[in-house]
């Protein structure tokens, strides 16, 4: 799937979680609904950190381009070191290490620890990165014709404002995790969810996605999980643009209204 569909599916997924959390007796304060949806939208682009032509590669200029190249090389090295006899030879690392459940969990856990241990500036950094990615994904047409600096300024302003809102009593800094010292521990959840939603979206495409690594399936450790081939589509095809994106928008709207108590 392409960047806009990934981001839209990430936002819709968090809004759906918000509706489910309310039904389960853990309603989200409205800032958690909004911030979580934006973080999840941004995090849904992050697995493509192994692809030098992806949206995330240009989101932070030379820094993200260089990081993408490093991650691509590391992912390729891990693939070569762990592949089994049934896994094909590859010349790059795209859709390998960063497209797995293990990567999603480790990155989300790392962000939670950073948010708890690093204080306000760590929270601001996490919000800034994901706000920029959310802008690039959800507003991709506008972001492409805007300067990078303008997108970064919008991301920084959004992060500052939203962090201030979350810091207010009852606005969600301690949502779900209420013990002392657990403020913002929940920030890792939309990051994990965004990465997994990205992987599921890629699994629907022709190439599939090795979500289950390092668990072997048959003779493959990098088994490309996906539906039957007749049900798959090419990234950027009419199925993604004309069917899935409207569906994500509709489901996200219903989930958001339910999470906020309007339905």
Instruction: Report how far residue 30's alpha carbon sits from residue 37's, in angstroms, rounded to the nearest whole number.
Output: 11
Estimate the share of the chain in helix, then strand, then coil, as percent rounded to the nearest 5: 65, 0, 30
- HSE at residue 261, side-chain half, CA atoms within 13 A, is 6
- Per-residue pLDDT reduced to its tens digit, 57-87: 889 999 999 999 999 999 999 999 999 999 9
- Per-residue pLDDT reduced to its tens digit, 82-123: 999 999 998 888 999 999 999 999 999 999 999 999 999 999
Compute how many other C-beta atoms are within 10 angstroms of the C-beta atom of residue 231.
9
Across 55-64, 144-153, 244-253, least confident range: 144-153
Say yes or no to pLDDT of 146 above 70.
no
**Confidence band for 147, pLDDT divided at 50, 70 and 90:** confident
pLDDT of residue 140: 72
Nearest to 213, CA basis, from 50, 77, 82, 70: 82
Say yes or no to pLDDT of 1 above 80.
no
- Per-residue pLDDT reduced to its tens digit, 119-142: 999 999 999 999 999 999 998 766
Is the peptide bond preceding residue 214 cis, with omega within 30 degrees of 0? yes
Say yes or no to pLDDT of 43 above 90.
yes
pTM for the structure as a whole: 0.94
Across 39-48, 154-163, 182-191, 226-235, least confident range: 226-235
pLDDT of residue 252: 96
Say yes or no to pLDDT of 236 above 90.
no
């Amino acid at each position: 799937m392409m960047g806009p569909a990934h981001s839209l599916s990430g936002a819709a997924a968090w809004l759906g979680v918000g509706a489910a959390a309310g039904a389960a007796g853990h309603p989200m304060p409205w800032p958690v609904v909004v911030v979580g949806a934006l973080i999840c939208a941004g995090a849904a682009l992050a697995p493509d950190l192994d692809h030098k032509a992806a949206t995330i590669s240009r989101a932070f200029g030379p820094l993200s381009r260089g990081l993408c190249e490093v991650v691509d090389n590391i992912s390729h090295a891990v693939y070569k070191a762990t592949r089994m006899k049934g896994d094909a030879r590859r010349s790059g690392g795209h859709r390998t290490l960063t497209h797995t459940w293990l990567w999603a969990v480790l990155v989300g856990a790392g962000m939670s620890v950073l948010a708890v241990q690093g204080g306000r500036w760590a929270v601001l950094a996490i919000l800034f990165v994901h706000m920029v990615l959310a802008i690039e994904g959800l507003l991709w047409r506008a972001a492409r014709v805007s300067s990078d600096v303008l997108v970064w300024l919008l991301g920084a302003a959004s992060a500052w404002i939203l962090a201030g809102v979350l810091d207010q009593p009852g606005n969600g800094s301690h949502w779900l995790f209420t013990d002392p010292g657990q403020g913002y521990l929940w920030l890792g959840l939309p990051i994990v969810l965004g990465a997994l939603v990205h992987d599921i979206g890629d699994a629907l495409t022709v190439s599939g996605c090795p979500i289950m690594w390092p668990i072997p399936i048959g003779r493959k450790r990098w088994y490309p999980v996906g539906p039957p081939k007749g049900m798959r589509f090419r990234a950027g095809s009419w199925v993604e643009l004309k069917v899935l994106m409207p569906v994500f928008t509709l489901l996200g709207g219903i989930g958001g209204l339910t999470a906020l108590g309007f339905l």
